Structures are given as C-alpha cells and as structure tokens.
Amino acid sequence: RFDIKMQYKQLWVRNLKLSDAGIYTCEYGSHKVHTSLHIFKLMISLDGHFLQNEVPELILMQNSSSRLPDLRITLFDSNNNRVTPELRNKSRQKYIVNLKKLEAMDSGTWVCQVHSDSPLIDQNIPFAVKVLGFQNPDLERKYATVDSTVILSWRLNSQKIKWKEGFSGQLNWKQQESANPHELLDFNITAQGQLHETKKSSSFLFEIPERKPESTIEVKLPKVHFDHSGQYQCQLEYQGRHAQSKIELVVMKVSARPVGPLSRGANMTLTCQVSGPLPPNAYLRWERANGTEMDIKNSKQNEVKLEVNISAAGLWSCHLIEDNDRKISLHYHVEEAAAWTNYVIIGASVGGSLLVFALGCLCIISGTNWHRRRQRAKRMAQARQYLLENKTCQCQQ
C-alpha cells in the first residue's frame, strides 16, 4: 500500500487504515522533516442502502499520534440542508450519531463536516445515502364519484437512485384501518429496474394499466363502487425490511327521496354522502345551477352526509371542496312533473278531498240515525216498565 515517488519526494499510501495514523519522517542527508498524519474513518449502517422512514446510524472514528481532539460534527444532506443529528455515544475516538428519518428525496451525496480548533481541523467527508421508497406523500387522499374511473399510482425512485439489487412488494386493500387486508397484486423489480406484476385477487374488479412510467405501481378501477372506498397500501420489502405508502380512496354518491319528477308545490330530499371522514379543511356543498344564495347549503365539520330539502326543479350539484378547491362534483337533475301530471294530481287531491267529505257526511248521518233509534228504544223500554208496574198494583187490589 506504500509507494515512494522519488522525483517528487512523495510517499503515497493507498487504502488508508486507522492504524496508519502517526508521525512520518523524511530524511535527506542531515535534514529531517516530520509530518503528522491524522486519519478519520466514517461508517454508515446498512452499507448506505435504506428504505424510507429508516434512521441511519453514522459512526465517525479518528486516530492520531498525539492527543485526540474534541470534534464538532455537522451534517448536510443531499440538498445541502443542515441536519442536526442525535448524538448517541461520544468517546473522542468514536462518535456515534443517528440521522433523521429518511425520505425518498434524501437520496444522494451527504457531507460530514469535521471541525476542531486544536489542532486545527476542517475536513469535509462525503458519503453516499441511497433511500429506496415512494415519491408519494405519506398519506395521499384521492376522491372519486360513483361509476367513475380511478387510477391509483405509486411512484418508486428505484430508477432515479440506480438501485443495484432487486426487491419485491405487494399491494393490499382494506375497507378500514382495523379490517383484514385483501392482497390485490404482487410485484418485483429486477436489478435492471424492470417491473413485474402478478394479479392476485379474483373477486375484486380492477385492472393493471399496460402503459406506465418505469418503477410505477398502478391499479385501475374501471367503475368505482361506493364500497370500493378505503385504504390501498403498497408495501415493498428489501432484505426483510418493509416500507409502505397509503392512498385513501373517498367515494361520493347522491340520491333523492322520493325518486321521480318534482310536482309543483311538492318537496324532495337530496342526499350527498362520502364514504369516509374528511379532513378539517374539507366540506360538502349542495347548490342549484343558476340558483340563488338560498339554494346553497354547506355541511358542518366532520359531516360525511349532507341533505337538502328542495321545492325547485333544475340541475343540483354536490361539490366536495378542500382548501377552497373543488375536488369532485356529482350532479343530479331534478325534472319538473308535466302539466297534465299536475292536473291529475290536483284532480286526485280534490277528488280525494270530496270523497273524504262525503264519507264524513255519511258517517254523521249514520251516527244521527243510530242515536235516534237508540233514544226510541230507550223510551219504549221505559213505557214497558211503566205498564208492568201498573199491572202489579191492580193485582194487589
């Protein structure tokens, strides 16, 4: 590992080790020149290959022929942002620090800056960090309306960081957090970055899109049902470790009660409902096209169902609004009943009223006759009793 360049009076040392630290002396005739070599060794856990949300461990060791200095360590991530590590152990000879939880965007070259005042040391040590993970947000929320088409997509950064080793994973779906998961598909990526997928579920209707960017996991729901809502979790595995990303699918539906044309003077109840809880900055809104402020109704916080009682026909729309941005809308056209239908309804109402009036009159007449018969029967019974009493008195005479 040692080589002397005579023409340059240089000593070359390759593949430095901690044990190479010390004082090196160059003798030329009666002249002697001493040089002190201070060596640092930087080690990172898992050989620098991580999954997102993992916390790397960084070990910095030093060796010198003199008293070891007290070092100050500063870290900079791949975006040149300063990172404050958690110091776990410090013994001058060995510094052990934990970095932050990694994200996919943290992949790249980091720098460990080592500084000391006595002796004066100001050294930058670069090291590579490769984070395999998803470029999606931690918890992505996607909205859809009933019978619409939805594509759920997870973007992996395996191509970006030129991952040299393959990994596998799976895509699961479950209705609620505590529900049992249903495996939709398995996937694996080769060392060349090629994605292979295998459909697992036979009862759940979904498709795997053919055209997609490299290292992208996608599922297509051609016709969304209300009960297709829930959490879709994509999980990848590398050397027994796991990382996952979730997409929450929220589905909207609308309904009317009663169903059918709206008659003049009648009322109808429109219901708009979403399948899951909404964030605090989201709400539902009913409004009528070309309507007034009276035709607008907003849901309260944490409401997943909004009802509105209407008496005007037209195009009614339910919007899901988040941060003043309409995410999805579902329309319901309320038709006005035809004129003859209104006349039939009015006639039926009038006829029904007359029928009720007639039945009432008949009941009154029948009641009056019954009362008269009862009074007549009562008088005859009293007369009969009177005659019996008179007969009894004559017999006694």
Q: Would you give per-residue pLDDT tens digits along the chain (397 residues)?
A: 888 888 888 889 999 999 999 999 988 888 898 988 999 999 999 989 999 999 999 999 999 988 898 899 999 999 999 998 888 888 889 999 998 899 988 999 999 999 998 888 999 999 999 998 898 888 899 999 999 999 999 998 877 777 666 788 899 998 877 778 888 989 887 767 677 888 887 667 788 888 777 778 899 999 999 999 999 999 988 888 999 999 999 999 999 999 878 888 889 999 999 998 999 999 999 999 888 888 899 999 889 999 999 988 899 999 999 998 999 999 999 988 765 444 444 555 555 666 666 676 676 777 666 667 777 667 676 666 656 666 544 444 4
Domain assignment present for 134: no
Residue at which a domain ends, from 233, 251, 269: 251
Q: What's the domain range around 191?
A: 140-251
- State whether 294 and 192 are in the same domain: no
User: Across-strand partners of 129?
Assistant: 108
Q: Which residue has the tokens 């008195």?
A: 393
Indicate the pairing of strand 282-288 with strand 297-298: antiparallel
Closest to 247 (Cα-Cα) out of 148, 178, 173:
173
Domain assignment present for 341: no
- State whether 263 and 243 are in the same domain: no
Give me the phi and psi of 361, to 5 degrees please: -65, -45
Closest to 143 (Cα-Cα) out of 271, 243, 282, 24:
282
Domain assignment present for 387: no
- State whether 246 and 262 are in the same domain: no
User: Is residue 382 helix, strand or coil?
Assistant: helix
Q: Which residue has the tokens 């001493």?
A: 34
- State whether 245 and 157 are in the same domain: yes
- State whether 232 and 153 are in the same domain: yes
Length in residues, the chain: 397
Total domains in the chain come to 3
